[in-house]
Structure formats: structure tokens, C-alpha cells
Structure 1
Amino acid sequence: MSKATTDDAGTLSRTVLCVDKSDRIDAVSEAIDDEETLTAVEATSVEAATEVIAEEPVICVITAYDLVDGSGMDVINTVREHAPQVPSVLFTDLPPNEIDTASFEETMVEYLNRDLPDAHDRLGFVTNDIIEHSAQVGFLRPDDEEKRLATLSEYDIEELPIEESFERLTDLIASHFDVGVAFVGLIEEDEENFLACHGGDFDSLTREDTICTHSMLQDNVMVVENIATDSRFSKNEQLENLGIVSYAGANMTAPDGQVIGQVCAIDFEERHYDAEERAELQDFAEMAMEILDLRQSLRSARNKGAKQ
């Protein structure tokens, strides 16, 4: 498995997935490997690319349009599903007006015509540029962020007696998974605020720094076994300063379907979570949401009774 590594000079090597037909893939990957800080990993089909995207910590994807079992848009849509923050380069001789650009949606996509005389020379530059730009755009937000924040605002956290319940819950999570830290966090507009945290003195993190910004965009439990080998987080100084090595996060989903927070297990060493453990963490997240909803219902009933 290719990972972000450092060369003898200490320069971070960033893994780029190159997807093309077998007779053209070598030229594409060579153009990437010629760049000092980029390392190519190859796939010659949509199926192979999907496997890499699901397993490899790639920092960018370069894909042709015509592939043996589909199109580059299939690859780009897979990127959007698994890692929407990862940018893509569509490297093709198909004119832009013949490509359904609406399919790009929120995924960052750069177009480069492979028929240009110096296309392969430009490819490394374009890839580096889109990687750097994607790192500067702050953090990704859900498409319905305003609705999500409106749902979150309905929970008057300061008025809800939840602190002791969540402290017990995070104690249980840490013990169950044998991890150093477990927390319940609500994802506000610009930061994640921790309602309870076992094993760490964490009050809040900016959304640029917290892994939960990425985890909340996933339908399933998100696991990062080793942050140092994941290009999305390997340069995050805040996480490094906290000593965080592994992460697992599950969505707290309100009854209207909006994700308002995360229940997470993190550790100071590399960790693997199997399917059963991921399901158990999701159960804990649902338990946290149930606690919030129950307290909110009781508070609403009391307020209604007081007005009568």
C-alpha cells in the first residue's frame, strides 16, 4: 500500500492516483513521479481505482475519461463519495463541452487537454497547483449547512442537564475500545465543541483542525488508523501537538437527518477497527443523540407546562 512518506531529505511524498488505459498509464504516472514531492500509484479501470480510493490515503486523483469499464466521471464520483476533499484532474482529449460538468458538483475538478503538445509536462504542475489550492480552501461544508446549523441551534445545550450523562458515556466508550480518549462533540459553524471528553483536556477545535469535519461528511463510521500516513491530516500541527495517532468517528444524526455532532474514539497509537467495532461506535453515537433528544423533550415539556 502506498502511503505518504519522506525521502532522504525529509521531503513529504504525496501519493497521487493515476487512472488510465493500460497503454497510456505509464506516461501519466511518469509525469507525476518526475515531480519531487509526488508519488504515483496506478489503476487501469474504474474498479481498480475504486479499490485504491477506498484503501489508499491519496492526495489527488488524475483520471482519463474513457476507461475499459466506465468513465472518468465514475472515478470522480467515487472520490466524492469516499473523500470529497480530494481534488481530481480530468486528463482527456474530450472537449469540455462534451463533458457533463454538472456531475462535478462539489468535487474540485481541474480539466487538462491531453492533446496539448506539452500536456504531460504540464500535468505535474497542474496537479501540484490543485493540491495546494485544495489545502487552502479551509474546510468542506455539507451542501445543506444552513439547515444543519438550524437543527443544531434547536438544542439549547447550556440549558440541558447532559454533562454527567455524557461523561459516563465517554468513560464507557474509552473502556470498551481500550483507547486513550473518547469524546462527544457538536460541530458548530466554525469549531467543534466537546460536551464531554474522557482522557484529554479538549474543549474545542476549529473545523479546519478537527478530523470530524471530514467524518461528518461520511455515511458510515470513519476510521483513520494512522494520521501520519493520511495525506489529509499528516500536516495538521494541532493534531500532532495533541499526540493523536488514530481516529474513529461516528455521526450523531438528528431526527430530521442532519448530522450535528460526532462520537469519537482516538488513541495515541495506530488502531484498527473491524466491522463489529465500527457498528458499536455508531451505536454509541445513536445513544448520545437519544440522550440529547430526551433531555430536549423534557425541557420542552417543562417550558410548555410553565406557560399554562
Structure 2
Amino acid sequence: MSRTILCVDNADRVSSVAAAIDAEETFEAVEATTVEAARTALDERAVVCVVTGYELDDGSGLEIARAIRETAPQTPCVLFTDVSPGAIDTASFEEVLLEYINRDLPDARDRLTYVVDDVINHSAQVGFLKPDDEEERLDALASYDIDELPIQESFDRLTDLIASHFGTAIAFIGLVEAEAEDIVACHGGDWDRLTREDTICTHSMLQEDVMVVEDIREDKRFSENPHLSNLGIRSYAGANMTTPDGHVIGQVCLIDDVVRTYDAEERRELQQFAETAMEVLELRQSVLESRAAPAEVGQ
């Protein structure tokens, strides 16, 4: 399967960049000559990497890199330009570039395809979108003694019930840590941990309402993610587990290997299941703390 690379540069240069990309048989180049056209391309199709010049007719390649970070941070970006790094204005951009190649180097085009292939294969380095309250959210998650709480049997029963209720292949409860999502209960699969770059929950937790992806093959955020494809994921629905203080620490999710839709009532029910999971966690934590209190008083 071809991997689509968006090549952005001025009209007199973009064709040569695209030709270098197309020389690699697994790559398919798509051209854009302006920042605006590049944004449109990113909105309309899934790309696995962006190669951009620096000085464009309507702006800077850094603007394209920033757009990627705002909408699809797992997509790597390569700045391919003859402008030296010292002359590039990065003052208003925070670490938006993954790689830089000087196009004036004798082997620049050969190096370009090598670097593009490498950054695609290691695109997890790019990072992922985080909630605005990420630090507070992680503190809230840490306040629950997950390893000490007797939640496994309750969560196992809950995921069995959820899968049966919705008729999905997989239902799971995941707690989202700094770099990965821990799957604490899973009906229909043996998943135990997914990196945040590879889990749809990284996106779902940013939404206030239940997030539904009816067909990941048609969603540019996920269609080029080989990990999701290898897991056999075709459709997804996820609801937030939210603490009493308003921090999202986990997800209750439905996964299927076929295209699925969920109406308003089903979404409401999934959210209720997520609230139930949160209530179980709260109850178990309260019991643990109440049992520990007398011992602390007597010491």
C-alpha cells in the first residue's frame, strides 16, 4: 500500500521534491504550493508525512508544521530547504519540526527519501495532543491507589455487560497515564497497554461528549495507523471517565471489526457506563482510605 507524502514548496520547486519522493516505490507524492493549499490537503486526506520548504509565497513552512501539530501531531514533518538553520525564524514556534535537510547538499534527494521513511517508522517521536490540564489530570489519576484497589472483578463484569449490551467485539476500560493507556479490563481481547500515540482514546479524551469513529479507514487521523489496523479495529466509541474535580483520567470504549454507528441514546448509555466505572473507582478508593485512617490515628 502506498504511503501518501504531502510535498509543499513554491511552484518552481515542488515538482522536483515530489519526483524525489515518487522515486521510492512505496511513496505517493501529493503537491501543494502554498500554506493555504497545504492546510486544505491536510483536511481532505490522510498523509503519513509532510515535506515542506521554508519560504512559501503566502507564508512559512513552519506555519504548516504548526498546523500539523494542532490537528495531527503524530504526522512527522521534514523541512527541506536551502535556508540555513540560523536564518530560520523559530522564535514563535516551539519544537514544531522533527527533521531538517539542506536541499543544497549533493545527496539531498537521496537523503530525503531515507529520512522520510525513517521518521514515518518512528512517528511516535512526534508526540500527541494533550489536555490543557494534563499535569493536574495526571495528579488526579495518581491519587487513586490503582494497584491496591479491588477493582478487577468489578471492571471485568462491567466490560462483559457493556459488550453484551452493545453487541460489540471488544469493550474495555482504560486509564490514561503520561505516555500510555493501561487497559485495566477488556472483554474480547487481551490488551493490557497501548501507547498514547497509538490509541484513539488520546483524541477521545479531549472531547466533552462521547466520541464515535464509525470507520477508521475513512478518518484521516487514524487511517494510516498500522497499529490500529493490526489490532483489527474498524470502529470505535469512547466515553470519558471524569473525576469529581473534572479531570478525565480514563475511557470506557467499544471496539468492533466492522463499521458501526451509535445513535444518541446509545451514546448516552455508553456515557452512563463510564460514569459507573468512575463510581466504582471512587467507592473502592474511599473504602481503602477509610480502612487506613484508624491505623494512622493510632500511630
TM above 0.5: yes
Supply the distance in 2 between the matched residues of 1:14 and 1:188 (Cα, whole angstroms): 31
Other-structure match for 2:193: 205
Supply the distance in 2 between the matched residues of 1:282 and 1:63 (Cα, whole angstroms): 41
Supply the distance in 2 between the matched residues of 1:275 and 1:63 (Cα, whole angstroms): 42
Please state if 1:89 is matched with 2:78. yes
Deviations 1:236-267 (A, max 9, x none): 4x963x54333444554556776543322211
Other-structure match for 2:39: 50
Given residue 205 of structure 1, which amino acid in structure 2 is its aligned partner? R
Residues 272 and 121 (structure 1 numbering): CA distance in 2 closer, same or farther, change over 3 Å? farther
Residues 149 and 17 (structure 1 numbering): CA distance in 2 closer, same or farther, change over 3 Å? same
Residues 307 and 280 (structure 1 numbering): CA distance in 2 closer, same or farther, change over 3 Å? same
Supply the distance in 2 between the matched residues of 1:84 and 1:27 (Cα, whole angstroms): 27
Given residue 244 of structure 1, which amino acid in structure 2 is its aligned partner? I
Other-structure match for 1:219: 206
Given residue 204 of structure 1, which amino acid in structure 2 is its aligned partner? D
- Structure 2 alignment gaps of length 5 or more: none
Highest Rg: 1 or 2? 2
Instruction: Number of aligned residue pairs: give it.
Output: 291
Residues 202 and 189 (structure 1 numbering): CA distance in 2 closer, same or farther, change over 3 Å? farther
Supply the distance in 2 between the matched residues of 1:214 and 1:28 (Cα, whole angstroms): 35
Deviations 1:3-45 (A, max 9, x none): xx2xxxxxxx221122234443333222211112211123334
Other-structure match for 1:31: 20
Identity %: 54
Supply the distance in 1 between the matched residues of 2:135 and 2:72 (Cα, whole angstroms): 22
Is the 2:212–2:238 Cα contact (8 Å) retained in structure 1? yes
Is the 1:227–1:233 Cα contact (8 Å) retained in structure 2? no
- Report the 3-state secondary structure (helix = DSSP H, G, I; strand = E; otherwise coil) of the residue aligned with 2:258: coil
Is the 1:212–1:249 Cα contact (8 Å) retained in structure 2? no
Deviations 1:278-299 (A, max 9, x none): 7876675465445433543454
Is the 1:25–1:42 Cα contact (8 Å) retained in structure 2? yes
Supply the distance in 2 between the matched residues of 1:244 and 1:21 (Cα, whole angstroms): 39
Deviations 1:162-209 (A, max 9, x none): 4565456535654665432111012457764433323x142513538x
Which one of 29, 34, 53 corresponds to residue 64 of structure 1? Answer: 53
- Report the 3-state secondary structure (helix = DSSP H, G, I; strand = E; otherwise coil) of the residue aligned with 1:76: helix
Q: CA deviation at 1:58?
A: 1.9
- Structure 1 alignment gaps of length 5 or more: 6-12
CA RMSD of superposed structures (Å): 4.4
Residues 122 and 182 (structure 1 numbering): CA distance in 2 closer, same or farther, change over 3 Å? same
Q: CA deviation at 1:78?
A: 2.0
